[in-house]
Amino acid sequence: MNKSFLRLFPFLFLLSSCAINSAPDNNVDFLPQANLSNLSGIYSNYGEPNGYFSKDALGLNEISHEQVKLVKLTAGKNTVRVQLIENDCISYEKTLLLGRDVQEQDGRLVVYSESHLLSSGGDDVMIGPRHSEKVFGIDMRQDGKLRDSGYGAGLVMFLLPIAVSDQTDIRFKRMNTAGQHFFRCGR
């Protein structure tokens, strides 16, 4: 193999690396030493800088995300009850079971986690290990925070070495609705 190519290879590898980070203004880290009960509260469905809790954290496709104004979370011992509120009434309700629907990690909810060793199949052009996950928790300001992160390294088209990393934080403001009760829509 050509010695000049071997000298150039590390430089090419550095050129094919990418790191992306997106976050709201004045972003703060997750609350340390949190527990699941810290999640109980009412949050804005619309996140900063953009996104919807009902879509980005819950993955719901069958609802109109723009209509949902609030998300109420109630953490139990092995469950988290999610209620979506529009027009001051509960339009959608679901109970998430820990260990089945979501995982608990350091007082945060892991709502999605996926790893691949070689390929994710189908039309995937990258060969190599990768991991992605979405985690919801409370930030240092007591607001909700969804972190969508992923990383991977490998070869694209069996030729170009690549290393990628991305992280997106979305803040969901905790709402002060003390004493406010919501009933199911249509009742």
pLDDT, tens digit (0-9, with 9 covering 90-100), for 139-150: 999 999 999 999
- 8 part of a folded domain: no
- 187 part of a folded domain: no
- 183 part of a folded domain: no
pTM: 0.84
CA dist 92 and 32 (Å) reads: 31
β-pair partners for 49: none
- 4 part of a folded domain: no
Average pLDDT of the chain is 87
pLDDT digits (tens, 9 = 90+) for 65-79: 899 999 999 999 999
Q: Quote the domain boundaries for residue 47.
A: 18-176
Average pLDDT over residues 171-175: 96
β-pair partners for 57: none
Our count of domains for the chain comes to 1
Tokens linked to 137: 């928790």
Residue reference for tokens 């930030």: 139
- 91 part of a folded domain: yes
